[in-house]
Amino acid sequence: MASKNEIDGMNFEQRHGKERVRVGRVWSSGKDGRHFFVEWNVSISLLSDCIPAYIHADNSDIVATDTMKNTVYVKAKECSEKVSVEEFAILLAKHFTSFYRQVTTAIIKIVEKPWERISINGQPHDHGFKLGSERHTTEVILNKNGTLQVTSGVDGLALLKTTKSGFVGFIRDQNTILPETRERMLATEVSASWRYHFESLQSIGMGPLGFTEKYLDVKKVLIDTFFGPPKEGVYSPSVQATLYDMAKAVLARFPDVSSIQLKMPNIHFLPVNLSSKTNPVIVKFEDDVYLPTDEPHGSIQASLSRIRSKM
Ligand SMILES: O=c1[nH]c(=O)c2[nH]c(=O)[nH]c2[nH]1
């Protein structure tokens, strides 16, 4: 997406912003002194009417990217109550589109670093955090006229199961050596992003938005569908089929999600068989010893949306 203009018989598109603005925010709850902490990496991109800067060296309509960076800290300071990463992105987007006459659209992307409260001897610590693994992400696109898109996501969700996976029946030709199997390891690092159905600032209202709870719920449905029940599991005939089941489960469970995109690399664990001229069987693979490798890896992605969804 970019701001589009016709200049001298040519199309010109432009946008500008600040990437990777890092901010940490502590909130303390008055009554018990417990601290809450988030660390965000914010990227801002503004579509604005500032063509004279490009063609006449006239900067009078430019919002300086340094100002955008400062705005992140000002807004973080102004949030006296804990906010979700999505709410913070919305409030930044609101500021840029309402404060500056020149700005028509704000695109705000944020990645939250997975700081998790630590427990000591089973007791949650008031102000101690450790780094977890997967990251909560969001992308908010807000137009001056109030048109809004909110996408939430998870990145780096590494999942592995040691059985209940296979891959058979694929095309075999002169270049195929992969054996068919009904018993293999399945490992992936899920990147998912899902779009909420509301389409304007008015339609999300002003109350607490519950984005964090929804993020945790969607992540749980993705994980539960990947693994199946704890004892029986669920058989995966391919990454493709499992990905589709995961996407379908999210749309079935959450009516306010209009579409979901999933990227699930197939991270290979290669069977280890070792032999030498003198010893034909040093190690014989019996679904036990693997060589983990992430290069090269399979790359599988798809998106699923409700008909009439605008994603
Ligand atoms: O689940 C899989 N999907 C593929 O497309 C594929 N290709 C491959 O070599 N192994 C696998 N596994």
65 is known as an active-site residue: yes
What does residue 75 show for φ and ψ, rounded to 5 degrees?
A: -70, -35
pLDDT at 209: 65
Mean pLDDT per 10-residue section of the chain, whose length is 311 residues: 80 97 94 94 98 97 98 98 96 98 98 98 98 98 97 98 98 98 98 93 67 97 98 98 98 97 97 97 98 95 85 51
The ligand 1 atom nearest the CA atom of 178:
9
pLDDT at 205: 56
Rounded CA separation 11/122 (Å): 61
Sequence-ordered list of residues with C-beta below 8 angstroms from that of 84, at least 6 positions apart, any chain: 209, 211, 212, 215
| For ligand 1, mutation pick of 175, 182, 238 (most atoms within 8 Å of CB) | 238
pLDDT at 183: 97
Ligand 1 pocket by Cβ (under 6 Å): 167, 178, 238-240, 266, 298
Other Cβ atoms less than 10 A from the Cβ of 311: the count is: 16
pLDDT at 270: 96
Report the separation in Å between the CA atom of 225 and the middle of ligand 1, taken as the mean of its atom positions: 19
> 154 near 132, Cβ under 8 Å?
no
Bridge-based pairing state of the strands 148-161 and 115-120: unpaired
pLDDT at 201: 81
| For ligand 1, mutation pick of 160, 226, 239 (most atoms within 8 Å of CB) | 239
The ligand 1 atom nearest the CA atom of 300:
5
Amino acid at residue number 87: E
Rounded CA separation 200/94 (Å): 12
The ligand 1 atom nearest the CA atom of 237:
1
Calculate helix-pair angle for 85-99, 211-227, nearest 10 degrees: 130
Task: Spot the catalytic one: 35, 197, 263, 268.
Answer: 268
User: By CB neighbour count within 10 A (0-12 exposed, 13-18 middle, 19+ buried), where does 226 fall?
Assistant: buried
Rounded CA separation 256/244 (Å): 19
The ligand 1 atom nearest the CA atom of 186:
1
| For ligand 1, mutation pick of 172, 266, 269 (most atoms within 8 Å of CB) | 266
> 142 near 105, Cβ under 8 Å?
yes
Rounded CA separation 15/19 (Å): 12
pLDDT at 208: 53
Give the pTM.
0.94
Nearest CA to ligand 1 atom 8: 298
| Locus of tokens 């996407």 | 247
Report the separation in Å between the CA atom of 80 and the middle of ligand 1, taken as the mean of its atom positions: 49
pLDDT at 294: 86
Report the separation in Å between the CA atom of 222 and the middle of ligand 1, taken as the mean of its atom positions: 20
* Tokens linked to 9: 């018989």
Report the separation in Å between the CA atom of 232 and the middle of ligand 1, taken as the mean of its atom positions: 23
